[in-house]
Amino acid sequence: MPENDPYIIKLEGIEKVYYTDEIETYALSGVHLNIKKGEFVVISGPSGCGKSTLLSIAGLLDLPTVGNYRFRTHDTANLKGKERASIRNNEIGFIFQSFNLIGNLTVFENVELPLIYRRIKKEKRKEMTLAALERVQMTHRRNHLPSQLSGGQQQRVAVARAIVGGPAVMFADEPTGNLDTQNGNRVMEILKELNNDGATLVMVTHEKAYESYADRVVKMLDGKVMEIVDQKSKRGVA
Amino acid sequence: MSYCLDCIQTSFKTLASRPFLSVLSILTMGVGIGTLMNHFIIYKGVMDPNLPFPNSEEIVTVSFVGDVEQSNKNIPKHLIYYWINNQTSFEALSSFQEGTINVYYQNRAIRYSGGWVHPNLMDMLKAKPFLGETFKPGDDELESPKKVILSYKIWKNDFAADPSIVGKEILVNSESTMVVGVMEEGFHFPFQSDLWVPDTYYPGAMLPYDPKPTSMVAARLKEGVSMVDAGKELDQLKEDFVAAIPKLYQASIPTDSQVNVASFVSMMTDEVTRNIMKLMAAVVILVMFIASANVSNLMLASASTRLKEIAIRNAVGANRTQIITLLLLEGAIIASSGIVPGTIFSLWTIDWVNAQITQQNEIPFWFQFSVTGTSILWGSTIAVITGLVAGILPALKVSKLKMSQILQDDSRTASSLHVNATNRTLVVLQISVSCALLVVAGMMIRQIASYQNKTFTFESDSVLTARLGLFDGKYKSLESKNEFIQTLLRNLRNEELISSAAISTRLQNLYSSFDLGFQLPTEDGTGFKDQEHRSHSDLVTTDYFDVLGVGPIEGRKFPERIVSGPTEDLEVIVTEEFVEKHFPDESPIGKRISIRTIDQSSEIKKIGKTYEIIGIAPDTFVHNDYIDEIDSVGIYLNILKAPPRFITIMVRPAEGLNPYSLVPLLKRSVAEVDKEIPLYFIETPGDSLKQEYAGLQFAAEWFSILSGLALFLSFVGIFGISSFSILQRIQEIGIRKSIGSTSLEIFTLILRQGLAQLLLGLTLGVIAALTLSVALKDLTYNINPFDPIVYLSVILILTVSTLLAAIYPASKAARIMPAEATRVQ
């Protein structure tokens, strides 16, 4: 990718096919999507439309069956498992609907985990972890286990874990799906703040209300991108 | 490194989050590791001990090995001296024999196991004296002053650690002998010896090239010389020696045998023991396999419930190697957390092992076992390796999963791993290994039981026996020995507490004294048939059969005293079995047989002497050299005609008395005849028999422990997998119940899974058991590898334990409420 290329994510002709016995199921079909650095993109659509699959491929958790995917300077088709893991660790942050915190690790240890895999020294890890927790205002609960937190608090911890390593892109899969409106709004505010600070954000959601936070909304149906709404320009027009 | 430490920390957290399973795993691993440590200690102690002399690995011994014969370690002394004077392969070559040595000092008579050794033995072993000196060249000559060296142990215990003991005279085998030294603490050689005297070599007093005086050889190899080369040299020297001696005596050297040089320990540990050690090593490996399978199972089960955690780790950047490392380390931690309980188990049980070992007679001095740093290190290393191996399967399985699916879908957990099939396969293997081990243990236990049920035709717990030696220093002549025997018997018979007393040559009244070759009379009674028969034989006094309580004899007994010379009135008493075999249609009383003399030397062997059969005695039984053969004695001779050096006193107590209550009386009676003669092996034949079986008993108990451990581990495995299976199938159970399945049907469903594993495991196990027991029969004892009782018992035990292991989880499954189950994701 040339240095002046504005796109941090370039998905071209992405297909994802699941094979069950002799039946082929197309989860994604001919998806083209480019995302710029610093953009906040929401992927929306009904259940089963392929939005989470698209997020997994974009987040290097899964491989497309067909198509090209360039993530920053990496042509992902040729990456080995170890390299994909390294990119996830250094350049990507994930937030999941069901928080996905490790139950027997404390809040601090959960947030610290990506830094351990990055082999950062303990003192530095502590400093970075506390900074991330401070950002989501969870420092006071750092020694608690996930089971001792509310859903909203758990998701804030998950956000802290996603941002602790300073990722280039954050992927959020229905981050408010398991939260009440108040906690959902709070998480969205944090995400927006991060985006305002320069983070690129790709979020899957089916809640219309949160589409307004995005610069662009990618609407999907049956594994295809049906429409991309540029809300920034809309806002600009307005 | 930092990552590994984090992994270790995480592993401990994971263990702490499942306290019950973790404690169970740690304890079972602990027992496994402890057993492994103990086996290492025993194996090393028996097969490769650290002997208490410098560079003990250089010490070898020599035997003759023929094409068909067993190895013979008894080498004619003439040849040994020829080797000593001419060999170049060894730093030194020496000789030794071990046997009873009587000591009388300060009014105490004590019997020791002692060594008759070549004067250079201590120098060859590089063993230093604690006090005084060792033997000098020439000490083995007939006219040299008598010398003895004491072990540190008896110097301390029996000589009051007398610092001026060197130079003092004590009676050794009734001869005045000077103590010249005390060896350093811990020194023994060759097996249990506690004192040493020079093995007198006096060619002039022996028949020329007489093969009968023999010794065993110990030598220290020169650096760089192999055992094979040393053997070749000794073989060549043997050929040279045979060529140099008169033809008449050449037969005294086994020219058809090869000289074999082997390490001292390997040749001095009998083959059965070595084979059992090897077999047990294989068994321990199998037990560790079961333990490993259990850890693996536990980790698989654990991994399946931790898929989400592993997926998160993967999502935040852990690569495949890091995930595998984490799981492998967890396996190693589970396994190595058993090291501390394992060491405690080893320390706790090694004393029991020592107690079992020391129950046996005449065990080598190096059979003393203790927990060492090496044994702990070895057990720990194997434990960690076991854990790592156990972690490989779950690690590989988990690392290949599609993590994105797991992160998105809570319901995809264990099914993604296909752990059920793997778990069940491991359990089937555990059952089959347990089955094989239990069958082997069962066979050995049956063998023990069959020995213990053998009838010796006399009440083996009703007679007290004691051994004593009449040495040439005081009892060289037939008359002197007979005087001792007859005086002792007369005194014993006068005691009110004693019902009857007799003397025999039979050690502890159990073991065959010697074989006799004999010829039956021709039909007309004028000569003897050419065919030679052989029979177990014994030398006894007249009341021998009364003491045993085997009933009256037909004909007459031996006379109480001999009135004529030893070569006249030669008489024998034969047994009922002997009569049935050789005189089936007539009374043998009054008939004559020709018996070759007991003396096996080549010159005298040709002489046959005629004996008259004067009585028929009931059958009594003796052991052969090998424990599994028990035969009837055939011929009894009068001990007074040829009293041997070692005799066994036998007394039957008066009605109602415990035989052991006669011990003081027996000792006093012997002391009254000769206070310098110690009694030893004082016990009933029944107790002697238990000692004889102690080795086999120990092996059987050790096998039982190992197989019990295997059974327990399998039980835990089946229990764990059944429980885990319910966790996985909880929704299925809920759905089944919702559509009408009864609790009993659910119970049966879960139980059936356990029974299917059992059936397959038993099939494989029986095949493995047959293979193992056939090997066991070849390697050790004469067991029946197809013993149906053993197989049926093992199948029953495994069936019951499998049912027990599966019943609790099955009943738990049956109690699950449908609404609760269908809610579970």
CB A103 within 8 A of CB A148: no
Q: Which residue of B has its CA nearest to A58?
A: B404
Taking the C-alpha atoms of residue B655 and residue B661, their distance in angstroms, rounded to an integer, is 12
pLDDT band at B206 (very low <50, low <70, confident <90, very high): very low
- pLDDT for the residue B192: 81
pLDDT tens for chain A, 238 residues long, are 555 678 899 999 999 988 766 678 888 999 999 999 999 999 998 888 888 889 989 988 888 999 999 998 889 888 887 788 888 889 999 888 888 887 778 899 889 988 888 888 889 999 999 999 998 889 999 999 888 898 889 989 999 999 998 898 999 988 888 888 888 888 898 889 889 888 899 999 888 888 888 999 999 999 999 999 888 765 543 3
Q: What would the mean pLDDT of B563-580 be, rounded to a whole number? A: 76
Among residues B759, B195, B162, B678, which one has the least CA distance to residue B471?
Answer: B678
CB B590 within 8 A of CB B571: no
- pLDDT for the residue B741: 66
Q: What would the mean pLDDT of B548-559 be, rounded to a whole number? A: 82
Burial B199-231 (b: 16+ CB within 10 A, else e): bbbeeeeeeebbbebbbbbbbbbeeebeeeebb
Give me the sign of the Cα torsion angle B747, B753, B754, B760. positive
- The B-side interface with A (CB below 8 A) comprises 2-3, 6, 10, 13-14, 16-17, 308-309, 311-322, 402-404, 407-408, 410
Say yes or no for a CB contact (<8 Å) between A61 and B320.
no
Q: Which residue of A has its CA nearest to B403?
A: A61
Using an 8 Å CB-CB cutoff, list chain B residues near A81. Answer: 319-320
CB A108 within 8 A of CB A133: yes
Tens digit of pLDDT for each residue in B750-806? 778 778 888 998 999 999 888 887 777 766 556 677 888 889 998 998 888 888 877
Q: What would the mean pLDDT of B460-469 be, rounded to a whole number? A: 90
Q: Which of B113-117, B282-286, B478-482, B589-593 has the lowest mean pLDDT?
A: B282-286
Q: What would the mean pLDDT of B643-657 be, rounded to a whole number? A: 91
Q: What would the mean pLDDT of B25-51 be, rounded to a whole number? A: 81
Say yes or no for a CB contact (<8 Å) between B316 and A114.
yes
Say if residue B525's pLDDT is above 90. Answer: no
- pLDDT for the residue A235: 52
- pLDDT for the residue B218: 93
Residue indicated by tokens 């047959």? B770
Work out the minimum CA distance from A213 to partner chain B, whole angstroms.
23
CB B394 within 8 A of CB B303: yes
Q: Residue A69 — φ and ψ, nearest 5°? A: -135, 120
- pLDDT for the residue B458: 74
Kindly state the helix (H) or strand (E) to which residue A15 belongs, with its residue range: strand A7-20
Tens digit of pLDDT for each residue in B327-377? 787 777 777 788 888 888 888 888 887 877 766 656 777 777 888 888 888
- pLDDT for the residue B537: 82
* Rg of chain A, C-alpha, whole Å: 18
CB B178 within 8 A of CB B228: no
Token pair belonging to A71: 């993530």
Say yes or no for a CB contact (<8 Å) between B309 and A161.
no
Work out the minimum CA distance from B336 to partner chain A, whole angstroms.
22
The residue that leads in pLDDT, B7 or B518, is B518
CB A207 within 8 A of CB A12: no
Q: Residue A95 — φ and ψ, nearest 5°? A: -130, 130
Taking the C-alpha atoms of residue B773 and residue B779, their distance in angstroms, rounded to an integer, is 9
Cα dihedral B178, B184, B189, B191, rounded to 10, equals: 110
pLDDT averaged over chain B?
80
- pLDDT for the residue A230: 86
Between CA B67 and CA B72, with CA B70 as vertex, the angle to 5 degrees is 105
Work out the minimum CA distance from B339 to partner chain A, whole angstroms.
25
Say yes or no for a CB contact (<8 Å) between A117 and B16.
no
- DSSP 8-state code for residue A44: E
Token pair belonging to B53: 């002399």
Using an 8 Å CB-CB cutoff, list chain B residues near A104. Answer: 13-14, 16-17
Work out the minimum CA distance from A151 to partner chain B, whole angstroms.
16
What crossing angle do the helices spanning B271-305 and B19-47 adopt, rounded to 10°? 160
- pLDDT for the residue A237: 37
- pLDDT for the residue A234: 57
Among residues B750, B822, B728, which one has the least CA distance to residue B300?
Answer: B728
- pLDDT for the residue B453: 65
Work out the minimum CA distance from A66 to partner chain B, whole angstroms.
18
- pLDDT for the residue B408: 62
Say yes or no for a CB contact (<8 Å) between B315 and A119.
no
Say yes or no for a CB contact (<8 Å) between A173 and B408.
yes
Q: Which residue of B has its CA nearest to A88?
A: B317
Kindly state the helix (H) or strand (E) to which residue B595 belongs, with its residue range: strand B592-596
Strand pairing class (A40-44; A216-221): parallel
Classified as helix, coil or strand, A65 is coil
Work out the minimum CA distance from B420 to partner chain A, whole angstroms.
21
pTM flag (> 0.90): no
Which of A52, A90, A117 is facing B408, going by the closest CB pair?
A: A52
Q: Residue A8 — φ and ψ, nearest 5°? A: -95, -25
Say yes or no for a CB contact (<8 Å) between B408 and A56.
yes
Using an 8 Å CB-CB cutoff, list chain B residues near A82. Answer: 319-321
Q: Which residue of A has its CA nearest to B10?
A: A105
Q: What would the mean pLDDT of B36-63 be, rounded to a whole number? A: 84
Say yes or no for a CB contact (<8 Å) between B322 and A94.
no
Using an 8 Å CB-CB cutoff, list chain A residues near B318. Answer: 85, 89, 117
Cα A53 off chain centre by: 12
The residue that leads in pLDDT, B533 or B661, is B661
Q: What would the mean pLDDT of B57-74 be, rounded to a whole number? A: 78
Give me the sign of the Cα torsion angle B88, B89, B91, B95. negative
Taking the C-alpha atoms of residue B78 and residue A195, their distance in angstroms, rounded to an integer, is 102
| % of chain B residues with pLDDT over 70 | 81
Q: Which residue of A has its CA nearest to B6?
A: A116
Q: Which residue of A has its CA nearest to B322?
A: A117
Sequence-separated (6 or more) residues with CB below 8 Å from residue B448: B693, B696, B697, B700
Q: Which residue of A has its CA nearest to B9?
A: A105
Q: Which of A25, A63, A116, A170 to mutate to test the interface with B (most CBs of B within 10 A)?
A: A116
The residue that leads in pLDDT, A128 or B24, is A128
* Helix extents (H) in B174-270: 227-244, 247-250, 264-268
Taking the C-alpha atoms of residue A115 and residue A161, their distance in angstroms, rounded to an integer, is 9
Q: Which residue of B has its CA nearest to A161?
A: B316
Taking the C-alpha atoms of residue B413 and residue A144, their distance in angstroms, rounded to an integer, is 26
The residue that leads in pLDDT, B267 or A48, is A48
Taking the C-alpha atoms of residue B773 and residue B765, their distance in angstroms, rounded to an integer, is 12
Tens digit of pLDDT for each residue in B697-726? 777 777 777 777 777 777 777 677 667 766
Work out the minimum CA distance from B749 to partner chain A, whole angstroms.
28
